[in-house]
């Protein structure tokens, strides 16, 4: 079980959303690294101890989906939460039973995103879910 602050990579080509998610997670005690595309996200994940990647599905240079597939090929076991406003059901069949993958549709409330994040950390690392998150479910 992990005890230090979780380290998240937040990757979205929308700078305002990326920055606002960075502030949200930082205020909640997470260590955050921000990336504007999938290539930057992979670079951060390969150079530091990262617990989770929060990825936009569609980004320039490398999509969040491609980042997830690359991590899976490398067998790194880092959980990924992919976010998209588009319907992704056509490609999700392959990963529905993968404990290292979660998909959330946009828009998503900050509270729900935090819940999904803690769920992913708990599944991957048995990280205890804070009482403040479980009280709201």
pLDDT tens across 1-39, in order?
A: 555 899 999 999 999 999 999 999 999 999 999 999 999
Over 70: is that where the pLDDT of 90 sits? Answer: no
User: What average pLDDT does the segment 90-108 reach?
Assistant: 69
Phi, psi of 61 (to 5 degrees): 65, -55
Distance CA 120, CA 102 (A): 7
Edge-to-edge strands, sheet with 31-35: 31-35, 7-11, 52-56, 80-84, 101-105
């Amino acid at each position: 079980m992990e005890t230090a602050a979780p380290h998240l990579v937040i990757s979205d080509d929308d700078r305002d959303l990326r920055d606002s998610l960075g502030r949200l997670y930082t205020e909640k005690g997470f260590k955050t690294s921000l990336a504007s595309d999938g290539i930057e996200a992979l670079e951060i994940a390969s150079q530091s101890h990262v617990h989770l990647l929060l990825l936009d599905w569609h980004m320039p240079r490398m999509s969040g989906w491609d980042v997830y597939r690359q991590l899976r090929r490398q067998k790194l076991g880092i959980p990924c939460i992919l976010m998209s406003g588009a319907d992704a059901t056509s490609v999700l069949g392959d990963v529905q039973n993968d404990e290292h993958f979660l998909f959330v549709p946009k828009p998503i409330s900050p509270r729900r995103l935090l819940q999904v994040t803690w769920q992913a950390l708990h599944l991957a690392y048995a990280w205890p879910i804070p009482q403040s998150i479980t009280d709201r479910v």
